[in-house]
Amino acid sequence: MKPIGNPLKNIFLSGIRRTTATGLFLAVVLASVTLQAQVRPGIGVGVGAGSTPAPATEVFDPANPKEYEIAGLTVTGNKYLDPNSLLSLTGLKVGDKIRIPGEAVASAINKLMRSGLLETAEFLATRIDGSQVFLNVEIREQPRLYKVEFLGIRKGEQDALKDKVKLNLGRLVSSTIIKNTQLSVRKFFVEKGYLNTKVRINTVSTDSARNYATMRVLIDKGSKVKINDIDIRGREQLEEDKVRMKMKGTKESRFGRLFTPSKFIPKKFEEDKQKVLDFYNKEGYRDATITFDSVYAHDSKSVNIIMNIEEGPKYYVRSIDWEGNYLYTDEQLTQILGLKKGDIYSKEDIEKKKNGNPGGDLSSAYMDRGYLYFSADDVIKSVEGDSIDIEFRIFEGKQATINRIILNGNTKTSDHVVLREIRTLPGQKFSKTDIIRTQRELATLGYFDPEKIGINPVPQPDGTVDIEYTVEEKPSDQIELSGGWGGFVGFVGTLGLVFNNFSAKNIGNLSAWKPLPAGDGQKLALRFQANGRQFQTYSLTFTEPWLGGRRPNAFSVALSHTVFQQFNQFDIYSRGSSLRNATAFGSYSNTMMSLSLGRRLRFPDDYFTLSHALTFQRYGLNNLNLFYISDPETGQEFNNGISNSFLFNTTLSRNSIDNPQFPRGGSSFSLSGSLTPPYSLFRNGPQPTDLNKRFRWVEYHKWMFDASWFATVTGKLVLNARAHMGFLGRYGPSTDFSPFERFVLGGSGLAGTGMFALAQDIIGLRGYDDRSVYTGRPGILPSANERQRGGIAYNKYVMELRYPVSLNPSATIFVLGFLEAGNNWGSFKNFNPFDLKRSAGFGARIFMPAFGLIGIDYGYGFDPNPGAQRNQPGGQFHFTIGQQIR
């Protein structure tokens, strides 16, 4: 028989590629209608092959298919794939009878290609012996992924894509993988506002011997698509500005819009449409719907949005009924709920009244009395016009008693430190308010990540409940290490160590030193600061928050010593002498010891604490007029001798702040009074004319008030309002005001040179120079000496808006904008709480456990500051570390 003129020789199916479904379909059709085969000697024996038949040539006529028995089945071209597994995929086996040409071969090819393992596949008839046929499947495997290259974008975007599009090296590069990668890359950029992103993927052979290939992802992201116009139709009842405000992720592009996005992101648009409906529902429009919306191109770089709202009627509550309640009467529950006839019907507000206000919602009323399984479903009984009748169906359940407390995650902190802060004790009735309070107490310890404190009530078959608390330890110790070089004084360095979870009882246990023994909740702080011979200060503080371990009675002891020497700067600058060889002509020293004891109160509530402290300070002056005080009649200066201060302090404070690093709610205030003995009242005769003898025993009374309040405005935006004031008094008009413990105001609130450590109260006022704000006698500019000495009364008010950038415990970051005002007076006669220096600005805070709080602010002072070095309005930057600007 002679071959017919068919260009497809020796093949059943050839050229099947992985690119399109259309190619696969055409190839299958060809395989089913075209076949020509001739015997090829030398082909390997296939599965189930018998004796080798004689070479022969035969033409298969598509119009007259014949039936053959498969006598042999082999695979060639495979490098990694198992041939038997591939043959099993075809559905064919030795002994099967198939028609050639026919559907059996086409179906086998279809199954092989759909597996995604192959790039090409061909069936060949290698031998024909009468009614028997020997078949070989010649394949080419899909290449394996060697690496992925993202081209056409920045390196930062490449790194982000590698995290987003995770492709395991060594996997087969199939058409499905390529398509999914293409879709994922485009979605990544569309979510960032690049709606016109184009992605093309090529595979390039990297190692042909091992069939490895590199996937090159070519990206043309184009420009961000912004929103030109948003047309809200159908709105009649609610103000358009308020509706637009709810669309926080979908904003029109306008000049001056810096902090809100104007790019179009489909996912954000869908979220914002739901927020608009939630806003309508909250305002009583429960039937509000968005009937249609459309997004169309304005130009190549922007789109327009049309959105139609059908508002529907506004609904009001007409009646409230209760069912299933036995513990409380209908009237009591209605009062607890806080919903009455005529109120706007808002599903969101009802949910908050049921579950959203710990201690004051419906669920707290039951759960605080042990009814853990309580539930309340609000059902609309009827709707007539704009009036709604609501029925609350109560399931009270049984009271649950706490059985066990389970702690997980406190790998460093001892169990007893955690347990003493827990308000839910075994044997007590379950209480929702106590659980929320426990969560707050664990967060304020500072040892655990406040965002990851987990609470899980586990009901038991006997009606009791186990409560499982899960915490995650975070670094709580801090280190302060800074240094610099400053003019003639040379190197200035500070080393501070704060161990916030110290364990004194394990000091003798060498295995617990990592680097110091920890876990018992005590605090040990060490600090050293010096700039050579001129200034050194040393301090040590130890605090035991639970003295005796049974009650929260905090005991603290503090010791410090400061030395300051003054050198002749003219001698150093003019004669080239160094500070090392210079002679001091004046010095100051301060030694302090303090003991304090505080306890938590139960009245008015247990957020209150009362503490008392006894402090002794010894100031030494040696030929140094530190405060620039002199007698106007004799001219004698206060520059020599020893001054002693024996002080009793009592402080009443309340702190309900929910998170010490980034508070979102709560408040804190403190009122303190510090008093020395009234030595002048026991003295016979006038006070000494010798200033050094006059201030040998320092006497004063000092009063301080600080208050801070936090509230979430919307979303993550938090408002913080603060007020501070202080007064330094004397016991009689014939007694001088103390030169020590006065107030200095202005700048960042840092102590500056350090020689006034423990001798003055340093208060910041952003937008003004350090220590510069002072109001003296009317009509007379205050001197530099008066500013240095400080005032006897000050007040300050602050308002901040804060927004968190990161709440990660390893680096809590937030930005802020502020308004503040304050002043400092040298006389009570001139004190005027409304005569303030005002400023405004912005800044940022970074809290890192190892370094504490780091802050930078830019403040602009609006009011003149007469007599100061910079007395006209202006702006400046302020930097702080380890403290808040008070």
Whether 53 shows a pLDDT value over 50: the answer reads no
- The dihedral through the CA atoms of 243, 249, 252, 255 has a sign that is positive
* pLDDT grade for 417, boundaries at 50, 70 and 90: very high
Q: Which CA distances in Å does 81 have to 111, 207, 821? A: 15, 18, 77
**508 token code pair:** 């003798």
Name residue 508's amino acid. Answer: G
Q: Which CA distances in Å does 789 have to 123, 689, 735? A: 100, 20, 17
Q: Do domains 21-141 and 226-310 have the same CATH topology?
A: yes
Total residue count of the chain as it appears in this document: 886
Which conformational region is residue 518 in: left (phi greater than 0), alpha (psi within -120 to 50 degrees), or beta? beta
* pLDDT grade for 642, boundaries at 50, 70 and 90: very high
Alpha helix locations (H) across 254-368?
Answer: 266-282, 330-337, 347-355, 362-367
Query: Which single residue is written with the structure tokens 């403190």?
Result: 670
Residue ranges with strand state E in 342-422: 375-384, 387-395, 401-408
Supply φ then ψ for residue 138, to 5 degrees.
-100, 120
Question: Which range (546-555, 566-575, 660-669) has the least confidence?
Answer: 566-575
Query: Which single residue is written with the structure tokens 């009606």?
Result: 463
Whole-number Å distance between alpha carbons of 599 and 609:
6
Name residue 197's amino acid. Answer: T
Supply φ then ψ for residue 181, to 5 degrees.
-65, -45
Cβ 484 vs Cβ 524: under 8 Å: no
- Residue 64's Cα: distance from chain center in Å? 75
SS3 65: coil
Whole-number Å distance between alpha carbons of 623 and 637:
9
Cβ 852 vs Cβ 841: under 8 Å: no
The DSSP result for 66-87, as a single string, is EEEEEEEEEEES-SSS-HHHHH
- Judged on CB neighbours under 10 Å (0-12, 13-18, 19+), 638 is buried
| Buried/exposed code over 320-349 (b: 16+ C-beta within 10 A; e: otherwise) | bebeebeebeeeebbebbebeeeeebbeeb
SS3 568: coil
Looking at CATH, the fold of the domain delimited by 226-310 is given as: Ubiquitin-like (UB roll) (3.10.20)
- Mean pLDDT score, 22-43: 36
- Mean pLDDT score, 597-602: 93
SS3 186: helix
Residue 230 β-bridge partners: 305
Whether 156 shows a pLDDT value over 60: the answer reads yes
Name residue 443's amino acid. Answer: A
pLDDT of residue 294: 93
- Mean pLDDT score, 399-428: 94
pLDDT of residue 821: 97
Residue ranges with strand state E in 656-771: 666-675, 701-714, 717-729, 742-745, 760-763
- The dihedral through the CA atoms of 427, 428, 430, 435 has a sign that is negative
Whether 876 shows a pLDDT value over 60: the answer reads yes
Alpha helix locations (H) across 620-731?
Answer: 691-694
Whole-number Å distance between alpha carbons of 417 and 271:
43
Select from 46, 60, 87 the least CA-distant residue to 6: 60
**What proportion of the chain, given as a percentage, has pLDDT over 70?**
87
Residue 95 β-bridge partners: none
Whole-number Å distance between alpha carbons of 478 and 693:
42
CA-CA-CA-CA torsion for 695, 696, 700, 705, nearest 10 degrees?
100
- CATH among 3.10.20.310, 1.10.8.100, 3.40.190.10, 3.40.1000.10 for 21-141: 3.10.20.310
Whole-number Å distance between alpha carbons of 749 and 765:
7
Residue 394 β-bridge partners: 376
- Residue 30's Cα: distance from chain center in Å? 62
Residue 668 β-bridge partners: 655, 708
Whole-number Å distance between alpha carbons of 118 and 112:
7
Whole-number Å distance between alpha carbons of 328 and 339:
16
**276 token code pair:** 């608009």
Largest CA-CA distance found in the chain, in angstroms, rounded: 146
- Mean pLDDT score, 589-606: 93
Q: Which CA distances in Å does 356 have to 351, 368, 429? A: 7, 14, 21
**493 token code pair:** 């360095």
Supply φ then ψ for residue 883, to 5 degrees.
-160, 160
Question: Which range (48-62, 646-660, 672-686) has the least confidence?
Answer: 48-62
Cis peptide before 849 (omega within 30 of 0): no
Whether 429 shows a pLDDT value over 70: the answer reads yes
- All residues at 6 or more sequence positions from 594 whose CB lies less than 8 Å from its CB, including other chains: 556, 557, 558, 559, 613, 614, 615, 616
316-395 carries CATH number 2.40.50.180 = no
pLDDT of residue 573: 52
Whether 231 shows a pLDDT value over 90: the answer reads yes
Whether 823 shows a pLDDT value over 90: the answer reads yes
Residue 494 β-bridge partners: 482, 529
- All residues at 6 or more sequence positions from 157 whose CB lies less than 8 Å from its CB, including other chains: 150
In angstroms, what is the C-alpha Rg of the chain? Answer: 41
* Tens-digit pLDDT profile for residues 476-528: 887 766 655 544 445 567 788 889 999 999 888 888 888 889 999 999 999 88
Q: Which CA distances in Å does 684 have to 207, 679, 681, 688, 701? A: 104, 10, 8, 11, 21
Instruction: Write down the CATH number for the domain with range 401-470.
Output: 3.10.20.310
pLDDT of residue 112: 87
* Tens-digit pLDDT profile for residues 319-341: 999 999 999 999 999 999 999 99
Whether 54 shows a pLDDT value over 50: the answer reads no
- Judged on CB neighbours under 10 Å (0-12, 13-18, 19+), 284 is buried
CATH class of domain segment(s) 601-881: mainly beta
Name the CATH superfamily housing domain 144-220. membrane protein fhac (3.10.20.310)
Cis peptide before 101 (omega within 30 of 0): yes
Enumerate the domain spans of the chain: 21-141, 144-220, 226-310, 316-395, 401-470, 601-881
Mean pLDDT is highest, among 529-538, 777-786, 829-838, for: 829-838
Helix axes 103-114, 21-33, angle to 10 degrees: 160
Select from 247, 48, 227, 17 the least CA-distant residue to 122: 17
CA-CA-CA-CA torsion for 485, 487, 489, 494, nearest 10 degrees?
-20
Whether 667 shows a pLDDT value over 90: the answer reads yes
pLDDT of residue 192: 87
* pLDDT grade for 815, boundaries at 50, 70 and 90: very high
Question: Mean of the per-residue pLDDT values for the chain?
Answer: 84
Select from 545, 536, 349, 543 the least CA-distant residue to 444: 545
Supply φ then ψ for residue 280, to 5 degrees.
-65, -45
Whole-number Å distance between alpha carbons of 769 and 864:
12
Indicate the pairing of strand 464-470 with strand 454-459.
antiparallel
